[in-house]
């Protein structure tokens, strides 16, 4: 029995060593060559490396037109200097009411969600305009002053697409009393379609005519122009105005050449503000504020 056991052990050990040796030869000598043949890139200059694969999608003759997202173009919130903005302070509802209206191009706006800034440091509850464009904010009885407002952005994008706040719409009020017998009169919001630029091109040199053009605005008989220099391509207006406020150009047409005026534009980026006025010099609308972009660029000659 012992002889058979030792013989089997020797046989098994020899077989195991043979398998180990065969595995070593395969993995360290035969497999690398086979792997190189399967996965190594083809040598330079072959068709596989020089050829750029074509897209499988069908080709088209022109790029699609750029479409702008339709959204509210005005400011979603405006506060006076007296207001300490802290939206974590919200006034509770009460038996009194502050009421007001919302229109866009003279028509009532239903479904707009808004809140008022009150008494220097508290926001009202949210209110939603009814089918007649009226809103009602429940407040406790007391004395109030409106110091601004806030619009829900999603609601504004839905119900005021392509609109701005009227340039002469009020943002604040004097003091008033809300009592059991009398509600307080809040802000009457007016929104309008803005004046739209129609620039023939957006890059000019300092030595050529600089043409500003815009589309005619309904009811407008003249236009007032201002140009602002920006801090950069996507920067803010730096406060530098091309024209003094009392000397802004008035024109009856829908375009001007800045070279006709005694002004100088340094190389950089600029935005244009156009106000549309009627025969009685009432402001009808203006261009939308262009915070993140520019209207034209001036390059060195």
Is the pLDDT at 203 greater than 70? The verdict is: yes
Q: Evaluate if residue 162 carries a pLDDT over 70.
A: yes
DSSP annotation of 197: B
Tell whether the model's pLDDT for residue 22 goes beyond 70.
Answer: no
Q: Taking Cα atoms as reference points, which of 189, 153, 185, 183 lies closest to residue 171?
A: 189
Could you list the beta-strand ranges (E) of 87-183: 96-104, 107-108, 113-118, 122-123, 127-128, 134-139, 142-144, 146-151, 164-165, 176-178
Domain 77-192 identical in fold to domain 203-299:
yes
Q: Which residues contact 140 (CB under 8 A, 6 or more apart)?
A: 91, 92, 94, 95, 96, 178
Q: Domain 77-192: which topology?
A: Immunoglobulin-like (2.60.40)
pLDDT digits (tens, 9 = 90+) for 180-191: 999 999 999 999
Which percentage of the chain shows pLDDT scores above 90? 61
**Assigned token pair, 181:** 């017998």
Q: Comparing C-alpha atoms, which of 295, 274, 289, 230 is closest to residue 78?
A: 289
Cα–Cα dist 192/107, whole Å:
10
Strand partners, 287: 195
pLDDT at 47: 54
Alpha-carbon 104 to chain mean position:
21
CATH architecture for the domain at 203-299: Sandwich (2.60)
Nearest to 277 by CA among 219, 237, 234, 226: 219
Give the pLDDT of residue 36: 47
Chain-wide mean pLDDT for the chain? 84
Residue pair 164/156 in contact (Cβ under 8 Å)? The answer is no
Burial class (CB in 10 A: 0-12, 13-18, 19+), 8: exposed
Q: What percent of the chain has pLDDT over 70?
A: 77
pTM here is 0.75
Count the neighbouring beta carbons within 10 Å of the beta carbon of residue 177.
13
Whether the Cβ atoms of residue 147 and residue 83 lie closer than 8 Å to each other: yes
Coil, helix or strand at residue 272: strand
How far is C-alpha 196 from the geometric centre of its chain's CA atoms? 17
Residue 197 tokens read as 């630029």
Domain ranges of the chain: 77-192, 203-299
CA-wise closest residue to 166 among 105, 114, 222, 113:
105
Alpha carbon distance 162, 73 (integer Å): 6
Candidate ranges 6-15, 19-28, 229-238; pick with highest mean pLDDT: 229-238
Compute the distance between CA of residue 277 and CA of residue 240 in angstroms, rounded to an integer: 24
Spatial neighbors of 51 by CB under 8 A, at least 6 apart, are none
Question: What's the rounded mean pLDDT across residues 26-33?
Answer: 46
Q: What is the rounded CA–CA span in Å between residue 10 and residue 26?
A: 25
Mind listing the pLDDT tens digit for each residue in 35-72? 444 445 555 555 555 666 766 778 888 888 876 668 99
């Amino acid at each position: 029995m012992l002889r058979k056991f030792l013989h089997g052990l020797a046989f098994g050990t020899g077989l195991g060593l043979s398998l180990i040796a065969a595995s070593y030869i395969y993995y360290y000598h035969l497999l690398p060559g086979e792997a190189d043949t399967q996965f190594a890139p083809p040598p330079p200059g072959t068709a596989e490396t020089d050829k750029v694969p074509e897209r499988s999608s069908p080709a088209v003759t022109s790029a699609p037109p750029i479409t702008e997202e339709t959204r509210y173009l005005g400011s979603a919130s405006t506060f006076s200097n007296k207001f300490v903005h802290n939206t974590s302070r919200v006034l509770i509802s009460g038996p009194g009411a502050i009421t007001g209206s919302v229109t866009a191009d003279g028509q009532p706006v239903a479904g707009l969600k808004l809140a008022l800034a009150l008494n220097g440091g508290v926001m009202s509850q949210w209110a939603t305009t009814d089918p007649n464009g009226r809103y009602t904010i429940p407040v406790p009885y007391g004395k109030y002053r409106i110091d601004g407002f806030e619009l829900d952005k999603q609601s504004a994008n839905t119900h005021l697409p392509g609109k701005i706040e009227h340039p002469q719409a009020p943002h604040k009020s004097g003091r008033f009393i809300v009592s059991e017998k009398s509600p307080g009169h809040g802000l009457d919001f007016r929104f309008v379609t803005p004046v739209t630029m129609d620039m023939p091109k957006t890059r000019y040199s300092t030595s050529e005519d600089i043409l500003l053009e815009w589309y005619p605005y309904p009811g407008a008989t003249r236009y007032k122009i201002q140009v602002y220099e920006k801090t950069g391509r996507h920067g803010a207006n730096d406060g530098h105005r091309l024209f003094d406020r009392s000397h802004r150009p008035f024109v009856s047409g829908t375009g001007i050449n800045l070279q006709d005026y005694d002004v100088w534009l340094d190389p950089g980026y600029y935005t244009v503000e156009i106000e549309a006025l009627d025969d009685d010099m009432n402001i009808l609308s203006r261009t939308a504020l262009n915070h993140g972009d520019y209207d034209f660029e001036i390059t060195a000659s």
